[in-house]
Chain A
């Protein structure tokens, strides 16, 4: 069968729709695509990260000075703030990705570039966060005493720094895989589409 033979059939098949087209009702709904899911995830991240330090204060209300004078608490606040900024940045990227009125190929290329940049930044961000935590673990015991950290510092520097190195290596290989597992399939799909267009 030839494709040209089907043109008439295609036109005849316009007669039946079976689709509810209440436009006004439809535009009241929210979109449920992958970009909308990403945006929802970032919104959730921002809210949770803003609430977590407050929750910590709330659970220590009987001795409010304990968290407020703790370096670890403020480091935690700093980390949460960093994640909030990062999530906001990601949210804006997702917003840019949700533009759908461009030609198909340039739009796909833009989405791939944006997603790859986002993944790169996420990997870098996670590495920075890990280095920050390692530095904190090493420096804090010289300023404030925490039994857990004191115990850690009683170990030889060789064991401690080997553990940090192992952690960084683990993050380098596994973290990348985890991130690609989450967003990689969508990225690979978009790349396939571009390949199909070449």
Chain B
């Protein structure tokens, strides 16, 4: 989805402020929220990590930007446990004593929604283009590289395709590639000199650039 989570390259944000000696968790509830996700994935097996990431992406955009990292984290966990029928929203609202915001529903994605564009694998040094797709569901191809050309700098390992796994569909393993894009290819007149971005992309996201 072309969601609020896909922030790379957006303008209008201010300074980045580093907190000296930042603790792992600022509040006790953050640690509990952290651990509840492990419970959901590992212990209950209620959902997988791709579904978790997508549930974060599905948070209402205004809520997404206003929430802290662990509030987003927690909202995704609660959403999935409601969607999977482990708990109900009414139960949560009753216990919390107020409104309990969850993520928006996922789009319907069909098995076989994404197949590789090319039968051949890519090699290191090869020029590739990111397919200019705008799926309604989960994907890990950031908007800022879609339609852009880059060079494969490393053929990485094979991993489950998130576009399917993120919707609890059977997902095949697919080779991933580290692809380097020159800043000028991505940002045109706004590009800085001697800069590039390397993005980790599944084979299905790519097509040959010849």
Co-complex (A, B): no
